[in-house]
């Protein structure tokens, strides 16, 4: 089944404790992206990657890191999480070949930083 998977689905952590949220897709997509979703603010792009070893900042990159060492994986790293990073996070992928750039989203990771 074609899908984007994320782990963990739920995470409660404390300020300053480094964490990684994994994302994997099995559709051989070139493009991958991370979003955060907050009430009243909608989906905001954090980072995106157009291919292996190619990443770039989205609209809200501060406090986050990413890497793309393999085509299928795109982990999101929070080196020193803070309470304002409490949010719902989505990973998405796209083939990038269709003009409308349909993105396939993972199920989401709900992060709480205390």
Partner 1 sequence: QKEVEQDPGPLSVPEGAIVSLNCTYSNSAFQYFMWYRQYSRKGPELLMYTYSSGNKEDGRFTAQVDKSSKYISLFIRDSQPSDSATYLCAMSARGSTLGRLYFGRGTQLTVWP
- Cα separation, 52 vs 42, in Å, equals 28
**Residue number with CB closer to partner 1 (14 or 54):** 54
**Do residues 38 and 100 lie in contact, with contact meaning Cβ atoms separated by under 8 Å?**
no
Q: Is 101 in the site for partner 1 (CB under 8 A)?
A: yes
Tokens of 35: 């979003």
Cα angle value 57/59/60 (rounded, 5°): 85
8 binds partner 1, rule: CB under 8 A = no
- x/- site string to partner 1, residues 45 to 74, per CB under 8 A? x--x-x------------------------
What is the total residue count of the chain?
114
Q: Which residues bind partner 1 (CB under 8 A)?
A: 4, 30-31, 33, 40-43, 45, 48, 50, 90, 92, 94, 96, 99-103, 105-108
């Amino acid at each position: 089944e074609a899908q984007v998977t994320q782990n963990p689905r739920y995470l409660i952590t404390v300020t300053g404790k480094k964490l990684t949220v994994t994302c994997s897709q099995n559709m051989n997509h070139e493009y991958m992206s991370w979003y955060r979703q907050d009430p009243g603010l909608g989906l905001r792009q954090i980072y995106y990657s157009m291919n292996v070893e190619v990443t770039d900042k989205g609209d809200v990159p501060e406090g986050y890191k990413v890497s793309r060492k393999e085509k299928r994986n795109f982990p999101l790293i929070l080196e020193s999480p803070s309470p304002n990073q409490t949010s719902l996070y989505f990973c998405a992928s796209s083939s990038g070949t269709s003009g409308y750039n349909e993105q396939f989203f993972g199920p989401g990771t709900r992060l709480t930083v205390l």
